[in-house]
């Protein structure tokens, strides 16, 4: 039997069929069909048998050929679909909006997307396997160990689980050293893992910025709450402290210093003075402290305080002074600079266990908008820098987070009120500056204060006079105060200083005295907040009768009646309650002998 040469499959089938026939069956077929004896004429029976066999074989071959054709067609279609699927996968792999990489079960990076190299900077040659990737992307051994544990736990899961590792945040170190925060998810594809990297660095930064803004808002709201509390309490509390301080001083003047009562009165005076300081610190923190700004040369101002600061911190601590060259002037109340340096130096002293060093330095700084955009709290402009550093115990993150909150302290009970740094914060903010703290535990702390540089010449802070109390020459003073105890106290103090004093409990009574004067009134001392009429309006009414009248305002807290945002107008004289006999003596003399009579506050 012959078979076409281009039908090898049919030839193989026939050959297998022939090989399966046994020798006995072969002999029987041979005996029955071969050899064919030649006889004259046509053996139609044999012919039809051969034709029938040939038709059966052809029919079988046709059926088999059609089945084979369908199988070949289906295989080609499957191969074509597979090719299209692979092409689609490759295209999606490359154009995916996030970095992708394909890893086989041996840990080899089979493929990495174009964005993978662009974001992280590593090429497929640099990270051929996971080992190289782990070393480069997670250089910290501890963090790398955690990542490895997570990966190994995923590999131990059954192959039927589609997800290998739950999406989680990881910190990846890029080739350029930048650390990116990414959300990594791994999907199992057969024996391979497909890893996707969603870069959430900007989102995390936005969230952190939002948290910072939220904390600043909360801090501002807390400050506002404390400010309202301080303003409400300060007025009445300072009035009571004025009486305690004033009468304690008057009583001490009447008692011999050797008398035990004098010592008791001194303790009362000291306690009242400490209470006064606490109230003023609260007002400073809440930015409700009344201030009289002056143009100061920062270097000269600090130099004038060094002697006092050295006494404050003690002999065991070295105080280093490093002034910058031509740092420029600042505009602020000299007493506030005292408070800043005193509080920072005391804080530095308490951070030093035994002997140590505190450094005060000044300098200049300028910040542009680009820099401030990347540094929360910074404002563009030119600034004068005041830095106070110590080599003390330093502070941790938890302490730094609450550092400027009022009444927050890490000292032992009785060691401090927790208002020192809050006071510094409030003063700096009131003067449109900002403050930054750099601290490491067991290394030390640096406070950097940036105050707006004033465009102009500065002046040294005048030293406080140590002369005896100035006395009056019988000048006529009218005191207007709705608190009877303070009114009587002020009258007694000023009469003891040699002044002629008249009093009024209300503005209306003061105006009646002005219309029927007991004599020329040289000075009006008035409370700012009174029922019926405030001190500013009273002063304006009184000046209709006495154009040359000098005015001294007094109050227990800031009032915008005479001060805009706590800053006194130029030429306005003010004394903060409570005040001592020395305070009122100096302020009255300063107001009376002011060269130019100030206009009414506007």
Domain ranges across the chain: 46-93, 100-203, 294-452, 476-593
The whole-number pLDDT of residue 588 equals 92
What is the DSSP secondary structure assignment for residue 459, as one 8-state letter? B
Question: Which homologous superfamily does the CATH classification assign to the domain defined by 476-593?
Answer: Response regulator (3.40.50.2300)
Lowest mean per-residue pLDDT among 116-130, 165-179, 449-463: 449-463
Non-local (6+) Cβ contacts of 460 within 8 A are 296, 297, 300, 301, 304
Q: For residues 395 and 446, give the distance between their C-alpha atoms in angstroms, rounded to a whole number.
A: 11
Q: Confidence class of residue 595 from pLDDT cuts 50, 70 and 90?
A: very low
Peptide bond into 578 cis (omega under 30): yes
Q: Is 260 or 79 the better-scoring residue by pLDDT?
A: 260
The fold of the 100-203 domain, in CATH, is: Beta-Lactamase (3.30.450)
DSSP string, 74-132: HHHHHHHHHHHHHHHHHHHHHH-SS-EEEE-TTSBEEEE-HHHHHHH---TTT-SBHHH
Structure token pair of residue 108? 């080899």
Confirm if 119 and 113 have CB atoms less than 8 A apart: no
The fold of the 294-452 domain, in CATH, is: Heat Shock Protein 90 (3.30.565)
Average pLDDT over residues 188-217: 81
Of 410, 302, 435, the C-alpha closest to 351 is 410
Model confidence at 29: pLDDT above 70: no
- Cα 439 to chain centroid distance, Å, stands at 15
Q: For residues 316 and 356, give the distance between their C-alpha atoms in angstroms, rounded to a whole number.
A: 7
Helix (H, G, I), strand (E, B) or coil at 239: helix
470 — phi, psi (to 5°)?
-70, 140
Burial class from Cβ neighbours inside 10 Å (0-12, 13-18, 19+) for residue 81 reads: exposed
pLDDT digits (tens, 9 = 90+) for 292-319: 778 888 898 898 888 888 888 888 888 8
The whole-number pLDDT of residue 381 equals 87
Model confidence at 461: pLDDT above 50: no
DSSP string, 211-223: HHHHHHHHHHHHH
Average pLDDT over residues 67-93: 73
Q: For residues 159 and 146, give the distance between their C-alpha atoms in angstroms, rounded to a whole number.
A: 23
- Of 25-34, 106-115, 543-552, 589-598, the range with the highest mean pLDDT is 543-552
Q: Confidence class of residue 397 from pLDDT cuts 50, 70 and 90?
A: confident
Q: For residues 326 and 297, give the distance between their C-alpha atoms in angstroms, rounded to a whole number.
A: 9
Q: Confidence class of residue 184 from pLDDT cuts 50, 70 and 90?
A: confident
pTM: 0.49
What percent of the chain stands above pLDDT 70?
Answer: 76
Model confidence at 279: pLDDT above 70: yes
Lowest mean per-residue pLDDT among 79-83, 493-497, 561-565: 561-565
The whole-number pLDDT of residue 361 equals 92
Model confidence at 267: pLDDT above 60: yes
Q: Confidence class of residue 524 from pLDDT cuts 50, 70 and 90?
A: very high
Model confidence at 135: pLDDT above 80: yes
Structure token pair of residue 128? 């051929």
Non-local (6+) Cβ contacts of 377 within 8 A are 216, 434, 436
Length of the chain (residues): 602
Model confidence at 597: pLDDT above 50: no
Q: Confidence class of residue 480 from pLDDT cuts 50, 70 and 90?
A: very high
The whole-number pLDDT of residue 479 equals 93
Model confidence at 35: pLDDT above 60: no
The whole-number pLDDT of residue 388 equals 92
Q: Confidence class of residue 67 from pLDDT cuts 50, 70 and 90?
A: confident
pLDDT digits (tens, 9 = 90+) for 405-454: 777 777 666 556 667 788 888 888 888 888 888 888 888 889 999 999 88
């Amino acid at each position: 039997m012959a078979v076409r040469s281009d039908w090898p499959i049919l030839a193989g089938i026939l050959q297998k069929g022939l090989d399966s026939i046994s020798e006995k069956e072969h002999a029987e077929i041979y005996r029955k069909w071969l050899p064919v004896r030649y006889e004259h004429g046509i053996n139609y029976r044999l012919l039809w048998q051969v034709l029938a066999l040939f038709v059966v074989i052809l029919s079988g071959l046709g059926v088999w050929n059609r089945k084979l054709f369908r199988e070949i067609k289906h295989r080609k279609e499957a191969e074509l679909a597979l090719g299209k699927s692979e092409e689609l996968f490759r295209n999606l792999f490359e154009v995916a909006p996030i970095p992708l990489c394909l890893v086989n079960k041996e840990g080899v990076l089979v493929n990495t997307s174009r964005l993978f190299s662009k974001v992280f900077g590593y090429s497929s040659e640099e990270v051929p396997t996971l080992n190289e990737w782990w070393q480069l992307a997670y250089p910290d051994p501890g963090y790398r160990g955690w990542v490895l544990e997570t990966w190994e736990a995923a590999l131990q899961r059954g192959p039927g689980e589609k997800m290998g590792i739950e999406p989680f945040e990881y910190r990846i170190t890029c080739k350029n050293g930048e650390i990116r925060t990414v959300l990594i998810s791994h999907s199992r594809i057969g024996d391979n893992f497909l890893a996707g990297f969603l870069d959430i660095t900007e989102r995390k930064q936005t969230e952190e910025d939002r948290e910072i803004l939220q904390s600043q808002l909360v801090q501002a709201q807390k400050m506002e709450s404390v400010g309202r509390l301080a303003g409400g309490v300060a007025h009445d509390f300072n009035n009571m402290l004025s009486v305690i301080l004033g009468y304690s001083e008057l009583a001490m003047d009447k008692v011999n210093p050797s008398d035990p009562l004098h010592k008791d009165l001194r303790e009362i005076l000291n306690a009242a003075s400490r209470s006064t300081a606490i109230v003023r610190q609260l007002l400073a923190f809440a930015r409700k402290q009344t201030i009289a700004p002056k143009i100061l040369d920062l270097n000269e101002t600090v130099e004038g305080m060094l002697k006092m600061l050295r006494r404050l911190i003690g002999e065991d601590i070295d105080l280093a002074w490093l002034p910058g060259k031509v740092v420029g002037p600042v505009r602020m109340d000299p007493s506030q600079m005292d408070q800043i340096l005193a509080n920072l130096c005391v804080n530095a002293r308490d951070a030093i266990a035994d002997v140590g060093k505190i450094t005060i330095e000044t300098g200049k700084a300028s910040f542009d908008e680009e820099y401030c955009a990347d540094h929360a709290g910074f404002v563009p402009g030119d600034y004068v820098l005041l830095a106070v550093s110590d080599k003390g115990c330093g502070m941790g993150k938890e302490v730094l987070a609450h550092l400027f909150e009022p009444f927050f302290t890490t000292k032992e009970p009785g060691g401090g009120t927790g208002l020192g740094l809050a006071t510094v914060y409030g003063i700096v903010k009131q003067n449109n500056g900002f403050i930054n703290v750099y601290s490491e535990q067991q290394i030390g702390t640096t406070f950097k204060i940036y105050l707006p540089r004033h465009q102009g010449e500065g002046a040294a802070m005048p030293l406080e006079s140590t002369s005896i109390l100035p006395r009056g020459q019988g000048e006529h003073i009218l005191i207007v105060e709705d608190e009877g105890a303070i009114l009587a106290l002020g009258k007694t103090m000023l009469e003891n200083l040699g002044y002629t004093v008249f009093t009024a409990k209300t503005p209306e009574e003061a105006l009646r005295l002005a219309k029927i004067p007991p004599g020329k009134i040289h000075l009006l001392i008035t409370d700012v907040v009174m029922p019926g009429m405030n001190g500013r309006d009273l002063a304006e009414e009184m000046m209709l009768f006495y154009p040359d009248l000098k005015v001294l305002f007094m109050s227990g807290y800031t009032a915008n009646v005479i001060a805009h945002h706590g800053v006194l107008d130029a030429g306005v004289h003010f004394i903060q309650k409570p005040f001592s006999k020395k305070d009122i003596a100096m302020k009255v003399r300063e107001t009376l002998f002011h060269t130019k009579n100030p206009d009414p506050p506007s």
